[in-house]
Amino acid sequence: MKLLIDLNKILFWILIFIFFVSCEKNETKPIGAYFAGEIINPSSDNVLLYIDNKIIDTLKLSIDKRFFKKFDSINYGLFKMEHLPENQMLIIESGDSILSRANMSDFNGSLFFSGKGAAKNNFLMDTYLKLQNEISFLSSKYSLTGKAFNKIIDSLFMEKYVNWKKLIDKNNFSDFSKKITEASFIYPYANRKARYALIRGKSENIITDSSYFNYRDKLNYNEDELSFFEPYISYLMSYLSLEALEKGQTFYKAKNSTKFNIKRIEVIDKKIQNKKLKNILARAVAYEEIMNSNNQISHKKFLKSYSSINSNQEYYNEIISLNNSLMQMSAGRPLPIVMLENNKGQVITSNKAFMGQKTVLYFWSQTQMNHFKRNEERAKVYKEKFPNYRFVGISIQPYNQLVRNYQEIMSINIKNQLALVNYQTTTNDWVINLLNKGIILDKNCVILEGFGNFGYEKSFENLLRKHYNLN
């Protein structure tokens, strides 16, 4: 068997080499593109490839954990590769031959691209990591004046710009690649500035420099090619939220109200002309509104406003489905039945798994073992305080040997560990939008709390205490 695997590896890399050489020889007339890679410690047996948020291919992992995709014809595009629960945007253009490699135990830290077309994608990944590393540093700077905060952001921006300029001077990038790679740092920093203003609100005169918002003049608010680029959408959401704020309002209070979300829909309709972008942004606001279970009584009013500007039937159906799922997860309703598997791979329905004892469900991912460890520690503390509850940890991916080994090392009680059989179905039915979600059930598998935060100890402990003595 080992010999067979080794031969497969050799053949795989020979094939890739041939493709690379072929593309090099045909640089003047590139035809199609190639995308391949290797997933170490995979959490599933496939890699999903998206464009415009739609799955275009499911790439099955081989026995040696590799995948391959040939594009017979391609101009250019912004794609998303996904190996649940992780994903990464990437640029693929005609003539590219891109190899990727990632270890799921540290996806962001290990993901690397090689081959023709790798430079632009490594820049996207590197920029993302640098921006993430700056979060804690910038979080302490929001107390500064607008002028001082602006100066820090501009300095960080210039650092990224210089690196980007060196990259495009060294490489023969297309206009599309230049646009995407530049957008990868322009819009995150624009978002930092917008978030600063959001945090302060419109009631305070915190922007002493009248030029604070001058950065907006260089931005495009109707960029079709960035419609599905997360940094761009995130900035637009912050910008639109700021525009929707009224004098005297603070964002973190306003954002939980249906009235504010309706105002954001109105601002989108006024400020955004591109139909695709308008639908995407309105959908994002709709998700935020519907996911706020405290607003259920006013969701109907919001949906009327949302439907007035949305022209995408698929998006509308998604929102209605989400609203229906949210209602199904309301207290007093039976938990929607889904399929689960135990450590031995045996499948069981959720109603049978949780019947007979008050149960608390918490969730974890095989790619975030530190989070899993913290949740196990929380479950132990909760169990000591509330022994009549059964605490069940649920992996959002199917079991694999790596997880079984880890649970054995940690001496986890596998009787209280299960895994989702179908991620997409279950996350929709149970509305699992956060990994810290906690669900409390009575002994008949009826929902007591459908939207608890397992990681917010004080709040979740209060919920456990509230239902502890109930039947």
- Segment 210-223 mean pLDDT: 84
Does the pLDDT at position 258 exceed 50?
A: yes
Mean pLDDT along residues 119-145: 91
Gap between the Cα atoms of 69 and 19, Å rounded: 12
pLDDT category at 209 given cuts 50, 70, 90 is low
> What pLDDT digit, counting tens, does each position of 270-329 carry?
999 999 999 999 999 999 888 887 777 788 899 999 999 999 999 999 999 888 888 888
The Cα–Cα gap between 310 and 316 comes to 7
- CA pair distance 22, 30, nearest whole angstrom: 9
Q: How many CB atoms lie within 10 A of CB 15?
A: 13
Does residue 210 have a pLDDT over 80? no
Q: Can you give the pLDDT at residue 166? A: 94
What's the pLDDT score for residue 3?
43
CATH fold label, 2-116: Immunoglobulin-like (2.60.40)
Distance CA 11, CA 153 (A): 48
Collect all residues with Cβ–Cβ distance below 8 Å to 226 and sequence separation of at least 6.
Answer: 179, 180, 183, 187, 220, 232, 233
| Residue 267 clears pLDDT 80, i.e. is over it | yes
Quick one: what percent of the chain has pLDDT higher than 70?
A: 90
Task: Note the pLDDT of residue 29.
Answer: 52
135-149, 259-273, 303-317: least confidently modelled range: 135-149
For the chain, the domains span: 2-116, 128-328, 339-467
Q: Is the pLDDT at 205 greater than 60, yes or no? A: no
Greatest distance between any 2 Cα atoms in the chain: 75
Distance CA(50)–CA(263), nearest Å, equals: 32
Across the chain, mean pLDDT equals 86
Residues in the chain: 471
Handedness of CA 10, 11, 16, 18 (dihedral sign): positive
* Average pLDDT score over residue span 148-159: 92
- Residue 11, pLDDT above cutoff 50: no
Does 2-116 match 339-467 in CATH topology? no
- CA-based angle 232:234:238, to the nearest 5? 115
- The CATH number of the structural domain formed by 339-467 is 3.40.30.10
For 356, left (φ over 0), alpha (ψ -120 to 50), or beta? Answer: left
Residue 16 confidence class, pLDDT cut points 50, 70, 90:
low
Dump pLDDT digits (tens) for 46-93: 899 999 888 999 999 998 899 999 988 888 899 999 987 788 999 999
